[in-house]
Amino acid sequence: MERFILSACVAVHIALCGVSVLTAQEAPTYDDNALRLDGRLGDVRIVRGAEGTVVGKISSFRGIDVAKLVSSSEKATIEAKKFEHDYGPGTWLASLGIATLGVWIGVTRIGDVNHSITTGLLFVGAGSLVYGAGRMQSAYNALSRSIWWYNRDLK
Amino acid sequence: MKTILFRALFLGATVSAATAGAQTIGHAAPPVASSESGTSVASARAATPNDSSRSYDAQALRVESRWGSIDIIRGVNGPVVGTVGWFRKFDVEKLVESSPQATTAAHEFKSNNFRGSLIGGLGATTLVAGAILTSNSSSNAASPMLMVVGAGAMLWGGQLLNKGYSALSRSMWWYNRDLARNTIAPSSAGNPSTPRDRAVPAEPKPPVTR
């Protein structure tokens, strides 16, 4: 009975220590897991590790769930949510601005159009474009900060 | 019974101590660059993961865009250490020279940024010239061609700038990665120096066991 208790204590202890060693070995490393951005014409890719495995693409009207990707880091998640908050509206407003400016160019080619219409189209188009670009810029800055925090918490 | 329990606890404590020692060895930071003085070896042994985090917080670089230019920022709320963009001449290579891979990527950025700025700028000028000629009701067939060529050059320039910024992102990534390996000395944790002030290893660094 006494030997059984002794053996049981040792076995449980070794088992528990074994788990902790395994956890330490499986901790994520910067080389394998750190994220960075890789720009392509038309989209931005989030790549992981030194090998540059693509884990997500952010194109004009669709993105990935960045908050989920960086969920292991609290501050990275907060910044990722800022990115998601700004990116969608920014893209749509910038696109609306470009489309409106296209209409403005078309309308100015037509001869008999009220001058106030063309001026209004120009201001609305340029305003939407600039505001949308500003939102997109804020979004990408938040994405950059999010990735920075995520990589920081890997260390 | 009490003797047996005491033996069990003692044995448990021994195994626990041995395991803790093994984990410490597994987490030991790699030797720091300069081994010319004995102090660096001693400081490397004293390093903890907190040193690495502190170093990253104070030294790691990131980028933030600002209407056509990109600010390189150091640390959590750190200063802007440089601004790059169209025709901006900030030496990123010098900033990240402590990391060989980062320097290579920074060189790629510099090359692509210059070519992209030049070609994109020429394309924009050509496009505007074509638009002005076309809006003046010029019947010259060359004016639409100017617009097409200008737009094409702008796209090509944009592609080069994009490649450049990807290289810049890669450069920051490598620089930040090598921070943890280069920065260990606890004496400098409170007043961190820039990585370029530190000695850099001439040989490839050993892999880190975390």
CB pairs under 8 A between A and B: 96
Give the pLDDT confidence score for residue B126 in this predicted structure. Answer: 92
Q: Rounded to a whole number, what is the distance in angstroms from the first to the last CA of chain A?
A: 47
| Domains of chain A: total | 1
Instruction: Report the distance separating Cα A135 and Cα A143, nearest Å.
Output: 12
**Given this model, what pLDDT does residue A93 score?**
93
User: With contacts defined as CB-CB under 8 Å, which chain A residues touch B15?
Assistant: 10, 13-14, 17
More confident residue, A55 or B18: A55
Residue B20: band (very low, low, confident or very high) from pLDDT cuts 50, 70, 90: very low
> Hey, what are B18's tokens?
């041995």
Identify the pLDDT of residue B7: 58
The answer to whether the CB of B142 falls within 8 A of the CB of B136 is no
Domain range list for chain B:
91-181
Q: Does residue A33 or residue B54 have the better pLDDT?
A: A33
Nearest to B169 among A24, A37, A145 (CB): A37
**How does DSSP assign B131-200, residue by residue?**
HHHHHTT---THHHHHHHHHHHHHHHHHHHHHHHHHHHHHHHHHHHHHHHHH---GGGTSSPPPGGGS--
Lowest mean pLDDT among A15-24, A87-96, B92-101: A15-24
pLDDT-based confidence at residue A154 (cuts at 50, 70, 90): confident
State the Cα–Cα distance between residues B12 and B52, nearest whole angstrom: 32
How do residues A61-112 score in pLDDT, each as one tens digit?
777 888 999 999 999 999 999 999 999 899 999 999 999 988 988 887 777 7
Q: Decide if A41 and B158 are in contact by the 8 Å CB cutoff.
A: yes
Taking 80 as the threshold, does the pLDDT of residue A11 lie above it?
A: no
pLDDT confidence of residue B185? 39
Closest CA to B163 of A27, A39, A115: A39
Decide if A144 and B5 are in contact by the 8 Å CB cutoff. no
Q: What is the dihedral of CA B28, B34, B39, B40, to 10 degrees?
A: -20
Residue range B118-127, pLDDT digits in tens = 999 999 999 8
Lowest mean pLDDT among B4-13, B82-91, B137-146: B4-13
Q: Does the pLDDT at position B163 exceed 80?
A: yes
Question: pLDDT value at position B197?
Answer: 36
In three-state secondary structure terms, B73 is: strand
Where residue B194 falls among pLDDT bands split at 50, 70, 90?
very low
DSSP run (H or E) holding A82:
helix A74-109
Please check the confidence at residue A150 and state whether its pLDDT lies above 80.
Answer: yes
In the sheet with B61-66, reading across from the earlier edge strand, the strands are B61-66, B69-74, B80-85
- Which residues of B fall within a CB distance of 8 Å from A27? 210
Is the ipTM here above 0.95? no
Q: Determine the pLDDT at residue A1.
A: 53
Lowest mean pLDDT among A55-59, B1-5, B160-164, B205-209: B205-209
